[in-house]
Amino acid sequence: MAPRNIRTKWLIAGLLGLAVFVIIFIGFKGWYGALLSRPSQVQSRIPRDTVSAESPLQPRYSKAEPLDVCGFGTVKVRSTDHTVVHQFLGEMTEEASSRWRSNLLNSTDNRARGVGLLLKDRASGDGEIAMPSKESQESLVKLAETSADPAVYAIAVRACNAYTGEDLGGFCQKLSLATWARLDSDNAIPWMLLGNQARSRGDQDAEAAAFMEAAKATRVDSYGDSLFGFAQTEIPADATPLERSFVAEDLLDYEAAWPEPQYDSFAQDYCMTSSLPDPGARQTCDALAQLLVSKGTKISDIWLGMKLGSRVGWSPARIEDLDREIRALSISHPLIDEYWDCFNVGLFNDYMALRAQLGEVGTARSDLTRALKKKQMEWLKSRSKDWRGLGATVH
C-alpha cells in the first residue's frame, strides 16, 4: 500500500503543478496580448464607432464605410452621411477645439472673446444650435456695453435674439437696436431692423425714417459671416490641418444654422407698398437696393437688393444678370462637406483664409476661389467617372 500511496501523492502534486502553470500561462498571455493590442496615441483619438482600416480591431458596425481623413488615413465609419461624419470629426478634433474655445474666452481682443462667449455652451461638432446660457448672455451684454464695439454689440444682440423689441428680461433687456444703429450709423443692417420694429408696431413715420437712414449708409454687415475672421487668430498654433479645417467648417455650419435677423421680408413689403405712391420712398428703396447689390457682404444681401430693384423698376436685363451672378456665387464653395483627405482639407484652409479676409461675397468673386474650385474639380475627375454629378461647373 505504501508505494501506491506515494504514487498517488506524486500524481496529485503533478496535477496541481500543471494547474498552476496553466493559470500563470493564461494570465501572462492575457497581459501580454493586452499590451500588444494597446492603441497608439493616434488610434486612441479615433472614436469607438470608427477604426483604422489597418487596425486589428473590428468596427462596431457590420456595414462600416471607408472615409479618408487627413492625418489618419482611411478609417471606417458607420455612415458617410454629413451629420454622422461631422459628429465623428468633432470627437477626433475635440482637444484642439477645446483649446481654441478657451483661447477665445481668454482673448484680449473683444471680438474674439465675443465669439467665444457665443460658442461657450455648444459642443464641438454638435449639429444643434445651443442658445447661450443666461450667464454667457450676461457676459456678452457687459462686453458689448464696455467695449462700445458695434461688432461685439451685434454679437450680443444675436445671442439674446434681441431683434423684435419685445421684453427680453434679464441683462438682454439692456440691449437695443437703436444703440446698435448709433454705434454703427453707416451700416444699413441695424437701420433696416429698426424699420422692421417700427412696421411691427404700426409706426409708419419711424419705419420710413429708419429705411431712409439705411439707404444713406455706406456698409451692409450683419457680422454673422465675420465670426471666423474674428476668431481665427486664437486657433492653437500647433493645430493640425484637419483641426484647423474642422473648427472653421464647424463655425460655418453654426452660422448657417443660426436664424438670420429678419429684415428682408420687411424691406420688400416696405418697398412694395410705399414706393409707387411716394417718390421719396421709391428713391429710398432704389438707393437701398443699389447699396445691397454693391456693398453686400453676404450673397443673401445681393439677392435682397435684386428683389428691391425689381420693386422699383430695374430693367429685366439687369435683374437677369444679378440672378445669374447670385447662382454663380452660390456654387463657389469647395466641397469640404464630403471630403476630408489632406488635399481637400488644404483647399478648404486656403479658402477660409480668403474668406476671413474678403468675406463671403468677396471670396466668391475672387479668382483665387475659382482656382481652388478648379483644382477640386480636377481631383474629382481623376477619381470618379461620375465626377460631373459631384460638383458644379467652374465659371
278-303 residue pLDDT tens: 778 889 999 999 999 999 999 999 99
Cα separation, 67 vs 50, in Å, equals 10
Instruction: Answer with the residue of higher pLDDT: 67 or 82.
Output: 67
Q: Taking residues 348-360, report their average pLDDT.
A: 91
**For position 330, what pLDDT does the model report?**
86
Q: Taking residues 363-391, report their average pLDDT.
A: 76
pLDDT tops 70 at residue 94 = yes
**For position 147, what pLDDT does the model report?**
94
Kindly report the backbone phi and psi dihedral angles of residue 55, in degrees, each rounded to the nearest multiple of 5, phi listed first: -75, 145
First CA to last CA distance, the chain: 104
Instruction: Answer with the residue of higher pLDDT: 37 or 166.
Output: 166
pLDDT band at 84 (very low <50, low <70, confident <90, very high): confident
pLDDT tops 70 at residue 158 = yes
Percent of the chain exceeding pLDDT 70 equals: 75
pLDDT tops 90 at residue 33 = no
Count Cβ atoms within 10 A of the Cβ of residue 34 and give its class: 0-12 exposed, 13-18 middle, 19 or more buried.
Answer: exposed
pLDDT band at 225 (very low <50, low <70, confident <90, very high): confident
For the chain, give the mean pLDDT. 80
pLDDT tops 80 at residue 83 = yes
Cα separation, 324 vs 308, in Å, equals 16
